[in-house]
Structure 1
């Protein structure tokens, strides 16, 4: 694994030992950032099931100002720290060992608002939509925020719900990437929108 583009391009990233994490392959990561960027002009990213930290680090390399990395596994946290350091992003990263829902509550107290969110929960959870709604209800998403959900290809999330609209989706074998935009005003009016990036 490596950083694919931007200021840290080519920097190698370590994997988490064992089989507990499912790192996003470079091929999927490259396709994913082509869908949502490929580059960014500031903003704060949230990498909620960070694993190796590869997605958040890639976002930092491509222009996101800051990133918050959350994972419950202590081995993952250590790997994220090493990868962030190897990519030269230590000053722009916050890394916390915590469970996803609890982390959201703690981050809300700091009044953080995210423009980019990566959700790659273990396939057995299938709760990315609930986490998205939680972030929205707590006022933690900027308008037009991009939410990237990695999930098992056999599972489908709704295309529209709670101000979220899916505008891109691609399948890579057992993994599907669904990309949503957060447009809360369309939830209130009941209208639909077409997102053009």
Structure 2
């Protein structure tokens, strides 16, 4: 009897081990053989699984509630992400907005804390301009991204050359001559001039990066590099040193002035240009200026031939007296005779 009593605990322990073994193996086989439940049916069983997982956790498991639920869902072949509670949309948007605000504030702090000589991000280019007429018509031109270089708009450039061709007496093409492109930037104005018939063009641009990465590649692409001269210098210095840098052949037949609006004084610039030996006897000067900028009626010995407005951009053309548009007979009849 004593022997039987001693064997009972061992039998009970072995039976419990066997039952746990068979139950675990049965659950593994059933979970591996049974197909995964659909989301609709899975949601109906989620409450049962959560209850069983919580009872397992209360039985002495050291895992967290979320980990226990996840393991229970995976054990029954379900995707735990289908039962994860989603945050409200407004709360997610507020958190994302706050995150962007913190990131922007951090970037501003980094900029303020960065040393003055820190390297700036690299400058890039894109092809948004094209030649409008002549030999290089429709060829794309490079221009810098950003607002540091502002090339002349194509509609303004097309109108400017139409005015020059009509004023020069040859509407089909530009009267041959030498072109001076001040504040050239991309070189689109001077390239347009060579394409339409000019024999030579001088480009004045002070930014070395623009010269090497934009202006010179544009001249090479259009095939006009051999007809061009590039001056990497400030316009004011170029006008002062014009007599020394150009030698005996100083005067030009055309001059284009397309400066940054807020960086120059137009009155001083036009006076300096009008007194310069660069202006020939029959020269045409093309000036782009901002709205509400006062422009004189003459520049040296040249008079105002045309003045056009294109939105916020204005265009004035100075030329010789013979290029001024003649008045109609009806307009002359309205002018009273002088005593």
Q: TM-score range by the shorter chain?
A: 0.7 to 0.9
For 1:9 and 1:155, the matched residues in 2 are separated by 33
CA contact (8 A) 1:46 1:114 kept: yes
Are the structure 2 counterparts of residues 41 and 32 from structure 1 closer, same or farther at C-alpha, using a change threshold of 3 Å? closer
CA contact (8 A) 1:119 1:128 kept: no
For 1:116 and 1:29, the matched residues in 2 are separated by 14
Aligned: 1:32 with 2:170: no
Q: For residues 135-155 of structure 1, what are the alpha-carbon distances to aligned partners after superposition, in whole Å with 9 as ceiling and x for unaligned?
A: 443322111200000010121
Match for residue 168 of structure 1 among 306, 324, 327: 306
Identify which of structures 1 and 2 has the higher relative contact order when contacts are C-alpha pairs closer than 8 Å and 6+ apart. Answer: 1
Q: What is the match of residue 186 of structure 1? A: none
Match for residue 148 of structure 1 among 286, 302, 310: 286
Aligned: 1:113 with 2:251: yes
Instruction: State how many pairs are aligned.
Output: 188
- Other structure's SS at 1:69 match: strand
Please state which structure has a larger fraction of its residues in strand. 1
**Shift of residue 134, structure 1, vs aligned partner:** 2.6
- Structure 1 alignment gaps of length 5 or more: 184-192
For 1:163 and 1:135, the matched residues in 2 are separated by 11
Correspondence 1:47-196 to 2 at 5 A: 47-78=181-212, 79-109=214-244, 110-111=247-248, 112-182=250-320, 195-196=324-325
- Other structure's SS at 2:241 match: helix
CA contact (8 A) 1:126 1:151 kept: no
Are the structure 2 counterparts of residues 12 and 140 from structure 1 closer, same or farther at C-alpha, using a change threshold of 3 Å? same
CA contact (8 A) 1:167 1:181 kept: yes
Q: What is the match of residue 6 of structure 1? A: 134
CA contact (8 A) 2:257 2:288 kept: yes
- Structural RMSD (CA): 2.0
Q: What is the match of residue 178 of structure 2? A: 44
- Structure 2 alignment gaps of length 5 or more: 1-128, 166-170, 327-339
With the length of structure 2 as denominator, give the TM-score of the two structures.
Answer: 0.52
Are the structure 2 counterparts of residues 81 and 178 from structure 1 closer, same or farther at C-alpha, using a change threshold of 3 Å? same
**Larger mean Cα displacement after TM superposition, 39-48 or 52-61:** 39-48
